[in-house]
Structure 1
Amino acid sequence: MQPEKEEEATVYVRGFMTDRERVEDFALWTRSHSMLVQSPKHRWGPLALGYNWRSGQPRLNYVVPWAPIYWITTRLPAGIVIPSPSLLATFFLADLSMHLVKLTYQYHKANFRSSEYASELSNVLRTLRQKHPKLRVISHSLGCHHVLKALQLMDLSERPDVVHLLAPAVKESEFDGILHRGIAREKTFLYYTRRDITLYILFRYVLAGWTKLGYGEPAMGEVGVKHKSSNHYSNLVEIDTAPFFGRNVHTGYAAKFGNMAQVDFDAVERGKLDFPSF
């Protein structure tokens, strides 16, 4: 039976957040949530809470062109000069390297804090569990790491009924135990795609360095779990989200989630339903 709307709460946990996070920063998630509230099939309760955790400095969402800006600025007195294609390529590689260095530092800092402050989130979820018969958690990127760390501190009876892990920036080996025992009381949905270049580069090369196998352990948000058997992990449903994305993948989940959650993935796997075009 569908619970009454006031009895249901959904918590959104983003990745790479700061203490200065604003309500409007959850706008895309709010839009997706509204779609599921209005969906005749899902009828989610309207209560949506954005959890602000102390991950440290925010992640850069784009490459800041510091090198070309500096180069052009130093030449402004002599007029605007257009750099050559080879010089532009050099600028791009330099800026990309700077971006990856910053991203790696910020990832490690946020990853540490996701464990350090896991008890705070677990206490919040326990309180919500007592107030709302139906509790759902939606997490994205490193927010998934924070959620999983918090759930490890909780008894199964205290945990959310359903957990959605979107592009989890986590390694399967780190959470093998809770994956086997079950993450949520009812079901866990894991959203992944091999088209997530951010996770591909960050986990396989930047974070791990060069290993004997050629690369480090990939993130679950890129490859899902190793064992695709439906009974290997308790109540875990994997969803390959490739059909929903163009070029913008890792940062595009907020805008696409409302569409993703409405698809009957069981029917898709049986070949009886095509992915809709969004």
Structure 2
Amino acid sequence: MQIVKGVFSALCTAIALALVASGFVCVANGHRHVFYLIDIFTLPILSVAVIAILAFAAIRQVRAAALGAVAVLLLGIAMAPQVFPHQAAPDPGAQPIRMVWANLYVLNPEPQKILPWIETKKPDIVAFVEINRDARADLIDKLKVTYPYMVVHYDMLIASRWPLAHAQPRPAGFALVTLTVKTPQGPLNLAVTHLTRPWPFTEPGDQPRQFARLEDSLKPLPPSRFVLAGDFNTTPSAAQLRDFAKSLDIHAAPALTGTWRADLPGLMRVTIDNILASSDLNLSKREVGPDDGSDHRPVYVEIRPVKP
């Protein structure tokens, strides 16, 4: 019996040590593909670590619980830039521009399921990727009632209450469309993108190369009143998106709950769908929407100019 208890205690300690090691990896923000993949899953690992602490405490595994607390601290530090991004305070008198972004999943036969949530949130701009080809026409017809201005490019759609100008699909080797939204507050420079997945789903260099091409494509655009929405297949706390945002002086909307996979609880999902903005804009009231048949959840954000 004593041997069994010893083995069980050692197993709990090993699990806790693995969580601590993951915490160090996530804090380090390494670019090596194995560590980078772990970094992308910081939020789910943090959630598992919290559950593990409670379990260890309940079964009186004090050493494992203490190590679990260390892991939670490290993972919390790694998550902090994603939950509390550096951005200036919004102008309290400014009217928000409301935006919804979603990856509707190309195999989802009923992307129209997102429409009731859109009617509830009443965004001014919606942007989608991976619209099912067979359902695309019906979705466009239903959206046109509220959003008469549209840009459609392959499986991408940007729809707005306000006129759109300078729409340009950019041949960067991945999905990217840039345009200007003529809002009542002035022009908003908008880019919508969809990047490839990280290793091991693709070659280790594929996603970094796409980030480099995306940066080259966006640098000539006006740097002010700029918004970028996309499925980046990585998170604001991980190295690739963090470095990319820093290079362009943009920041992601504060994000706690994730978007993928849609069928998981919010704190177990990964925050790969993001809206980012230039430093003269504030992003607030981010909300993750309901399960609409996609493997991603949609995202709502309010955009305001910063306080003068």
Higher helix share: 1
TM-score of the aligned structures, taking structure 1 as reference length: 0.33
Of Structure 1 and Structure 2, the greater strand share is in 2
- After TM superposition, the score normalised by the length of structure 2 is 0.30
